[in-house]
Structures are given as C-alpha cells and as structure tokens.
C-alpha cells in the first residue's frame, strides 16, 4: 500500500486586494480611493495591503492617503518587479492585484506572468496597446487555464471610451443602427492641466516602440471584425471644427480606439458575451440581454479644445514626441525637459492637489447611423441620423482613473463567479453587463444622452 502523504491545504489568501506601486503618483490616489471602501458595511473590500519596493515611501503614502484621519493599520509588503519570487509571494497573499507600476512595457510583464502562473486576478491602469496585446499573446492561454483574470486599461484609458461607445450604441433602438461614433475628449480646468512624468514617459516609449506593435500584430491571427452596416467612415480633415459641441479637434493617438476594437472583436466571436466562471441563470439572462443591445460601430477618438490655438499647441507636442521619440537622444531630451516639450502639460513632480481638484473632462460621442437598417440594404450610404452622448467626470489621471480602477476591483471581489474564469481580456467585454456604468455614475462619472436628430440631405 502506498504511504499516506500528509495533506497540504493551501491557506486562503490574507488580503482581498494588494495595490502594487502604491507609492507612485497615481498609486497614492488609488490608495486614497481604496480607503473609502475599506471595511464599510456593504463593501466586499475587507482587507488591503500596499506593496512596492520602498517601505518608507509606502508608509508615507498611507499617511498621505488617510489624511486628515489617522492611517489605518494596513500591512506594507516589499515587492520588486525585478524580483519574480517577491511577486509570486504577493500572488499567494491576495485574490486580486491592482498594478500601478508603469511604464508597463518596462515593468508589467513579470507581474502578469506571476498572476497567470498562480491564478491570481489582476487589474491595471495601463494605456499602452503594445503591452496589452503582448500580454494577451503570451499569457492568455495560461491565465485561462489557472483562472487568473487579467484586465488592463481599467482607468481613464480606456473605460470611458469603452463604456461611452457602448452607451451611445445602445441608444440606437431597432430598427436604427449606428455606423460610426467619433469621441471628442476635452480637458478642462480653472487652473492648469498637468500630468505626471509616468504617463508622459509611457507615451514617449509608445512612440519609440510603435514598430514592435506592428510586428506583434503581423505575427498573430487577426481577430474577427464586427459587421458594421454602411460604408467605412470618410477620412475627413486633419483639424476638424465640431460645431455641435463647440470644439476644434485633432486625432488623438491614444489606446482607446484599439481597446474598443479588441472588445468588439471578442464580442463578434462571442455575440452573447463571455460566460462567467460559475454564473447564476439570472446573470446569464442579464449578460445576454445586455450584449444583444450593443451594436458595433466604427470608432475613433479626437482631442478637442475650444480654440484653434489650443489645437496647434496639441499638434506641437505631438510633433515633438513623434519626431524625437524615435531616437534615443531625442527620448533623453523629451524626458529630461518634459515641461518644455509638452508645453507645460507634463511635469516631473506632477500636478498639485489643487490642480487635480480643479480639473475635469468631457468626452462627447457623436454617433452617425441609419434610422432603419433596411436603408443600408437598399443601397443608402449616407447616415441620416445622429445621436450625441457624453461621459463626464473629474480630473482624468488621478481622480477618474482611481475611481474606475476601484469600481472594477469591487466588481471582481463581489461578482467573481459572474466573470470569465480567466484570460487576458479587455475591460469592456469583462465588465459590460456587471453594472460598472451605474457604479461609475454613483461615483461622479456621468453618462448622458445629449441629442438625437435626423440629418438632412
């Protein structure tokens, strides 16, 4: 008879949530947002730990985030992305990691690898398309197998775009269908609009590695494309004046359109959405009903300002980053003098609390489509209907991003069985039918229908 082995039962994770990179500029605002939900009566967040490479900075972060209250007793864990065993230890101590360590192309891979290996869930605030697609290529299979849910871009990149597009597309009630939705982002403030170096560095490295993204895509099977009624959108002018919303606008090369396309790709392959790990029949019904109302559309994002001069400033920054970002000396210059090359929009020490408090965003979604899908079958090529919707909220990087990240985390903690067992997936396809939009509305990010009208001629 074989000798009986002592049974080893893995002890349950100690924390609901670990925030990795909590000492960073964005990380500290994420901690502040998390404290609002820690141990409150209806919250699933009962235990939290902060992780990073510098315990002293993490302790200061906790003090800053709890101010003016006394900091709660929250464990501080040392972990470094260059030390994989420290990441493995993190994964065994929690069910979910919120990763705020960026640029993600430099530091993110080992964190996703550890989560995919151990089955720990993972959310981040990445806005770097090459990182997201590379993680999907490398870890989707493993994560699906171990039950690790890996979702990037759970911040201003790209939840307002994903949920804003879905919100607009759901206003097209049968037989109406959208053909294209153009999003216009407008950043507003009575003070200055400023971002921290971390985001700027991620953008600069994105330009430097643009060819790597193309290479990756060429090496991968193409994702299914949705069938969108009507012709592809016309190219349009480089600078556009959108009179309906009072903005001048130019194309914004952000992650948004790419992330939206990934979600629409998953939806095309799974028209009823992705089944949950252990879904109730009630949730299956809710999920299928939700996705049956989302209609795909061509999607693009532009940045808008009230004056033409504002657009010229944006284009100047685009030219600086686009040209200098390709060469190592150029990148050195860009990162050495961020304020100069970003005309004051990015600063090494980030915005002041006052600047953060005073800033806000509006994201307009101008949808064009057909009042009746049969018009397309009859050969009509020109949309005859317009629906404008808007997503609006506080400052994008350090208020809206933490709000979104925390609400995604609370959904993972409270509705895990309704979400896919695992895999590397975009936020839209994972959180679409979970009530994330309503949660964002309750937390200061609004979704509104602005107008619906017939287009003449």
Q: Does 62 interact with ligand NAP (rule: CB under 6 A)?
A: no
Integer Cα distance of 87 and 358 in angstroms: 37
Detail the DSSP E strand segments found in 277-351: 298-305, 346-347
Give the range of 18-26, 35-43, 205-213, 333-341 binding ligand NAP by CB under 6 A: 18-26
Query: How many residues interact with ligand NAP (rule CB under 6 A)?
Result: 30
Structure tokens at 34: 């998390």
To the nearest whole angstrom, how small is the minimum distance from the Cβ of residue 427 to ligand NAP? 10
Angle (CA) 373 287 299, round 5°:
45
Structure tokens at 185: 């982002």
Give the range of 142-150, 193-201, 217-225, 334-342 binding ligand NAP by CB under 6 A: 193-201
Q: Does 99 interact with ligand NAP (rule: CB under 6 A)?
A: no
Q: Does 402 interact with ligand NAP (rule: CB under 6 A)?
A: no
Q: How many CB atoms lie within 10 A of CB 237?
A: 9
Q: Choose which of 397, 423, 432, 433 interacts with ligand NAP (CB under 6 A).
A: 397
To the nearest whole angstrom, how small is the minimum distance from the Cβ of residue 154 to ligand NAP? 8
Residue with tokens 């972990």: 79
Q: Choose which of 186, 199, 360, 407 interacts with ligand NAP (CB under 6 A).
A: 199
The CA-atom distances, in angstroms, between 17 and each of 62, 90, 91, 373, 407 are: 15, 10, 10, 46, 13
Q: Choose which of 39, 40, 54, 238 interacts with ligand NAP (CB under 6 A).
A: 54
With CA atoms as reference, report the closest residue to 386 among 403, 399, 369.
369
To the nearest whole angstrom, how small is the minimum distance from the Cβ of residue 109 to ligand NAP? 11
Q: How many CA atoms lie within 13 A of 226 on its CB side?
A: 24
Provide the pairing of β-strand 121-124 with 149-152.
parallel
Residue with tokens 């009624």: 229
With CA atoms as reference, report the closest residue to 30 among 69, 70, 58.
58
Give the distance between the most distant pair of CA atoms in the chain.
86
Q: Does 21 interact with ligand NAP (rule: CB under 6 A)?
A: yes
Please provide residue 219's backbone torsions phi and psi, each rounded to the nearest 5 degrees: -85, 0
Q: Does 256 interact with ligand NAP (rule: CB under 6 A)?
A: no
Q: Does 194 interact with ligand NAP (rule: CB under 6 A)?
A: no
Give the range of 98-106, 113-121, 143-151, 238-246 binding ligand NAP by CB under 6 A: 98-106
- 101 vs 264, which CB is nearer to ligand NAP? 101
Give the list of residues 6+ apart from residue 142 with CB closer than 8 angstroms, or none: 116, 117, 148
Q: Choose which of 103, 206, 393, 428 interacts with ligand NAP (CB under 6 A).
A: 103
To the nearest whole angstrom, how small is the minimum distance from the Cβ of residue 373 to ligand NAP? 35
Residue with tokens 């009509």: 380
- 149 vs 427, which CB is nearer to ligand NAP? 427
| Residue ranges in 129-168 that form contacts with ligand NAP under rule CB under 6 A | 155-157
Give the range of 21-29, 114-122, 206-214, 278-286 binding ligand NAP by CB under 6 A: 21-29
| Residue ranges in 310-349 that form contacts with ligand NAP under rule CB under 6 A | none
Q: Choose which of 32, 34, 62, 127 interacts with ligand NAP (CB under 6 A).
A: 127
- Which residue lies nearest ligand NAP, judged by its C-beta? 102
Q: Judge whether 48 and 74 are in contact, CB under 8 Å.
A: yes
The residue ranges that bind ligand NAP (CB under 6 A) are: 21, 23-27, 52-54, 57, 80-82, 100-104, 107, 125, 127, 155-157, 196, 198-199, 202, 397, 401
């Amino acid at each position: 008879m074989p000798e009986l082995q002592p049974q080893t039962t893995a002890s349950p994770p100690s924390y609901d949530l670990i925030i990795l990179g909590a000492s960073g500029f964005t990380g500290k605002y994420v901690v502040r947002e998390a404290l609002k939900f820690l141990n409150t009566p209806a919250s699933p967040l009962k235990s939290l730990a902060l992780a990073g490479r510098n315990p002293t900075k993490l302790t200061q972060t906790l003090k800053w985030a709890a101010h003016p209250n006394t900091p709660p007793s929250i464990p501080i864990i040392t972990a470094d992305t260059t030390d994989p065993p420290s990441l493995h230890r993190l994964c065994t101590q929690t069910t979910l990691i919120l990763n705020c360590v960026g640029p993600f192309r430099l530091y993110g891979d080992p964190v996703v690898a550890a989560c995919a290996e151990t089955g720990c869930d993972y959310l981040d605030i990445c806005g770097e398309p090459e990182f997201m697609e590379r993680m999907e290529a490398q870890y989707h299979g493993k994560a699906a197998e171990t039950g690790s849910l890996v979702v990037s871009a759970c911040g201003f990149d790209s939840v307002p775009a994903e949920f804003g597009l879905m919100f607009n597309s759901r206003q097209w009630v049968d037989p109406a269908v959208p053909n294209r939705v153009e999003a216009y982002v407008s950043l507003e403030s009575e003070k200055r609009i400023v971002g921290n170096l971390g985001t700027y560095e991620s953008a600069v490295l994105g330009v430097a590695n643009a060819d790597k993204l193309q290479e990756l895509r060429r090496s991968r099977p193409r994702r299914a494309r949705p069938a969108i009624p009507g012709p592809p959108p016309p190219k349009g002018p480089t600078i556009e004046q959108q009179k309906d919303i009072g903005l001048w606008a130019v194309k914004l090369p952000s992650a948004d359109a790419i992330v939206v396309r990934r979600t629409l790709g998953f939806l095309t392959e799974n028209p009823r959405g992705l089944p949950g790990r252990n879904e109730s029949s009630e949730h299956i019904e809710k999920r299928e009903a939700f996705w049956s109302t989302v209609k795909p559309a061509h999607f693009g994002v532009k940045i808008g300002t009230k004056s033409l001069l504002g657009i010229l400033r944006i284009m100047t920054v685009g030219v600086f980053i686009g040209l200098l970002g390709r060469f190592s000396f150029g990148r050195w210059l860009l990162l050495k003098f961020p304020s100069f090359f970003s005309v004051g929009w990015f600063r090494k020490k980030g915005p002041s609390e006052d600047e953060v408090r005073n800033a806000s965003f509006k994201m307009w979604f101008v949808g064009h489509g057909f009042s009746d899908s049969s018009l397309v079958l009859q050969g009509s090529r020109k949309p005859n209907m317009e629906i404008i919707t808007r997503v609006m909220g506080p400052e994008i990087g350090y208020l809206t991003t933490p709000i979104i990240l925390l609400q995604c985390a609370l959904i993972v903690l409270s509705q895990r069985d309704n979400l896919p067992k695992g895999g590397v997936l975009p936020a839209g396809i994972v959180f679409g039918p979970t009530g994330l939009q309503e949660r964002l509305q309750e937390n200061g990010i609004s979704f509104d229908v602005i107008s619906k009208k017939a287009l003449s001629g």
